[in-house]
Amino acid sequence: MARIAGVNIPTAKRVPIALTYITGIGPHTAKAICEALKIDSARRVNQLNDSEVLAIREYIDANLTVEGDLRREVTMNIKRLMDLGCYRGLRHRKGLPVRGQRTHTNARTRKGPAKAIAGKKK
């Protein structure tokens, strides 16, 4: 198994697909990495030699924010919003949808399972 950015990427998959297993790298970025390093996107990870894996690792380290650093950055951005007390920060703090979605119905992912209203009988 090739280990890139602290993640064991699957060896049987094509290189662009395998790179998407790294947090912060999507299909478009994975394809761009292959083009920049002139790696054929039809090749599999187990067909790469050590120098190509090293080149991918160095390219990612030099040009992209991935895995732990990316998670830390996102978390710090959310904490900053919460400390400011802005609307988005308050929505994060209350565990409600942040981007203007309705909450009268739906929003169960953010709000959790529905709670029964006590004392209400039919």
Q: What is the pLDDT of residues 47-89, one digit of tens each?
A: 999 999 999 999 999 999 999 999 999 999 999 999 999 999 9
What's the rounded Cα separation, in Å, for the pair 35 and 38? 5
What's the rounded Cα separation, in Å, for the pair 37 and 62? 13
What's the rounded Cα separation, in Å, for the pair 60 and 7? 12
Verdict on whether the full-model pTM lies above 0.85:
no
Pairing mode of beta strands 7-9, 2-4: antiparallel
Token look-up 């050590």 returns 50
Enumerate residues 6+ apart whose C-beta is below 8 A from 43.
14, 15
